[in-house]
Structure 1
Amino acid sequence: MTFDSLLHKIPEIKSVNLLGIEAQALMVPKERRPYLKVDDFISNNPRYSAVMMLLYPKEQETSLLLIERSNGGGVHSGQVGFPGGKYEVEDQTLEVTALRETDEEVGIKANQIEILKAFTRVYIPPSNFIVQPYLGIMDTTPHVELSVDEVANIIEMPLSTLLDDTIIKEVGLQTSYAELIDVPAYIYNDYTIWGATAMMLSELKETLKQVL
Structure 2
Amino acid sequence: MELKGLGFVPLLLAFWCAAWLATSYIVTVVLGHAASPLMHISDVGNFFPENILLRIGFIGTSIGTLVLTFLIYKYMVMHTEEFRGHQVLIQRILLAIVWASCFATAVMHVLSPEEYPRIHFVSMVISITCEALYYLGQSIQMYKLPGANKVIHHSRCTCCGLAFACAIFYFGYKTLQELFYDDEDWDEIREITTIIIEWVMLLLILINIVTYYSTMQRLMLTVSRNSCKSLLE
- What is the TM-score normalised by the length of structure 1? 0.25
- What is the TM-score normalised by the length of structure 2? 0.23
Larger Rg belongs to = 2
- Which structure shows the higher strand fraction? 1
